[in-house]
Amino acid sequence: MNILDEIIANKYKEVAERKELYPVKLLEKSLYFETPCISLERYLLRPDKTGIIAEIKRKSPSKGDINPYVSVERTSIGYMQAGASALSVLTDGPYFGGKNEDLLTARKYNYCPILRKDFTVDEYQIVEAKSIGADAILLIAAALEPAHLKQLAAFARSFGLEVLLEVRDKEELANTLSEDVNVVGVNNRNLKDFVTDVNASYEIARHIPAGVTKISESGISNPKTMVELKEAGFNGFLIGETFMHNSRPEQAAANFIREYKQLLERKTASLV
C-alpha cells in the first residue's frame, strides 16, 4: 500500500466517524450554509492578482513538521495583503496537521476564495466544506474512480462550490474532466511516492482543453518558474511549502510575489 492508498483508506474511516458526531442536519445549520461562494476561478483570472493560491499547511507525510504552530489568522491575512488570489487550507489532521477550525479562522478574517484542501471521498465532506465556509473543494483523480469523482463534482456544484480537479497525467485528465470542473490542477508531486517534478505541468498542459482554467501545484520554489509556467498557459499556482517553511509565511509570500512582479516587468520591458 502506497502513501495515497493509506491516506484514502483512513479517510473513509474518519468520515464514517464524523457522520456519527456531526450529522448533516447539524452541518446545515451553519451560518455559512446559505452564503454564496466566492469564485476561485474568477479570482485566478483577475489581472490585478498574481494567480497564487497560497496554502496553509502544518506538516506532510514526506516532510514531517513544516510549521506546526502557524498562526492561521496572521498568515491568511498576510497572504492576501501580499497579493495572493486565494487561500488553500489543509483540513486533514492525521497526515497534514490541519483541522476544520483552521478554515473557519481563515474565513472569519478574509473575503476571498478559500479552497478546502483535503482528500474528498464522500458527499458528506462536501456538505461539511460548505458548512465551514469553503468556496471550492479538491477532487484528486488518483484517489477516486472516474465515475465517483464526476458524481462528487456534480454534487459540489449543486451547493455552489467550485471544483479543483487534480491530475497527474493525461489519462487521469481524459477520464475525469467534466462540465462540473472549474479548474484543472496539475500536481507536480506524485502522491504515491511524493517525488516532485515541475516538468509534469509542462507535459500535461498541452492536453488540457483550450479555455479551461489551469494551475500548477507543488514544487514551485522560484518566481522564475512561475513566469515560465505562465508563459506555458497556466493561470494559477498553488504554493505552500515554499512559504510555510519560513517562520513568517506571509512575509515569505510577499518577498516571492515582489520578485515575481519584478521579473514580469523586466520581461515586458524587454519586449517593448
Per-residue pLDDT at 140: 98
**What confidence tier does 84 reach under pLDDT thresholds 50, 70, 90?**
very high
pLDDT per position as a tens digit, 178-223? 999 999 999 998 877 778 899 999 999 999 999 999 999 999 999 9
Per-residue pLDDT at 194: 77
Q: Which CATH class is domain 3-271?
A: alpha beta
Beta-carbon contacts of residue 130 (< 8 Å; ≥ 6 apart): 27, 30, 32, 33, 159, 160, 161
User: Does the pLDDT value for residue 90 go beyond 80?
Assistant: yes
Lowest-confidence region among 10-14, 158-162, 191-195, 219-223:
191-195
Per-residue pLDDT at 237: 98
**What confidence tier does 97 reach under pLDDT thresholds 50, 70, 90?**
very high
User: Does the pLDDT value for residue 272 go beyond 70?
Assistant: no
In angstroms, the CA 231 to CA 130 distance is: 34
In angstroms, the CA 201 to CA 70 distance is: 29
Which stretches of the chain are assigned E, i.e. beta strand? 52-56, 59-60, 64-65, 86-90, 114-117, 136-140, 162-167, 183-187, 213-217, 236-239
Radius of gyration of the chain (CA): 18
Which are the catalytic amino acids? Answer: 55, 57, 117, 166, 187, 217-218
Lowest-confidence region among 98-112, 142-156, 188-202:
188-202
Look at the block and give the residue holding cell 472569519.
Answer: 108
Per the structure block, which three cell numbers stand in for 25? 442536519
Mean pLDDT, rounded, of the chain: 96
Q: How far is residue 266 CA from its own chain's centroid?
A: 29
> Considering the entire predicted model, what is its pTM?
0.96
Question: Domain segments of the chain: what residues?
Answer: 3-271
Q: Above pLDDT 70, what percent of the chain? A: 100
